[in-house]
Amino acid sequence: MTRELKPLQVGVMAGSQGDVFWDLAPWIVYSPGLDIGCNIYVANPTDTVKEYALMARLVRNGQILSEEVLPVFGYTWSQVEPGDFIVLKGAVRFPESDTDLMVFLVERESGEAIDSVATALVAPTASALPPAWPGALGTGGTGTDWAAMLNAIMPALMLGIVGIMLVSASRPQAEKAQSAAGRSD
């Protein structure tokens, strides 16, 4: 019996029927068409064998751009033993950037998405700041301008470091003079 995957309806059941994790950061700089290497971990916390599928979805501004099954070893469904997990090593490639990539774990018996992971695929720009970084160029952020703040305090930091180095360099000389004076008494 083959079961068709239907468009995802995300349920709030994470952890009870299965879990998915990966080693991607919350956002990554991504050029369309390049491979993204990653490890995806699928865990079965139940006491029965479960079959899972992985679905990838690209979303921009709340609009779904694409949704597709991620085959594992050429198959749609992967079996995970009770209380165990599998590690899926591979790469994914997408034709879009400046999108959110979400991977959903679909449990076969219910056909529902039971857990998900996500990362933002950010187009490469002159600024490598994350998309919502306070004060980032082009985001309209009203947060702190960290570059200006660092430029303002850098001279004071440098003077402090030089001062510490001078004090620590002069201490051994003072200690030698004091111990030499103590021996001659």
pLDDT band for position 57 (cuts 50, 70, 90) = very high
- Boundaries of domain holding 27: 19-122
- Report yes or no on 11 lying in a domain: no
In the chain, the number of structural domains is: 2
> Domain boundary at 88, 122, 156, which?
122
Is 114 found in the same domain as 23?
yes
Is 32 found in the same domain as 108?
yes
CA dihedral 26, 31, 36, 40 (to 10 degrees): 30
Higher pLDDT, 142 or 96: 96
Is 33 found in the same domain as 112?
yes
- Report yes or no on 177 lying in a domain: yes
CA–CA gap between residue 46 and residue 19 (Å, rounded):
10
CA angle 16-69-4, nearest 5°? 80
- Report yes or no on 53 lying in a domain: yes
Q: Under a CB-based contact definition with an 8 Å cutoff, are residues 122 and 97 in contact?
A: yes
Please give the pLDDT value at position 10. Answer: 44
Give pLDDT tens digits for 81-106: 999 999 988 888 888 889 999 999 99
- Report yes or no on 165 lying in a domain: yes
Is 27 found in the same domain as 106?
yes
- Report yes or no on 2 lying in a domain: no
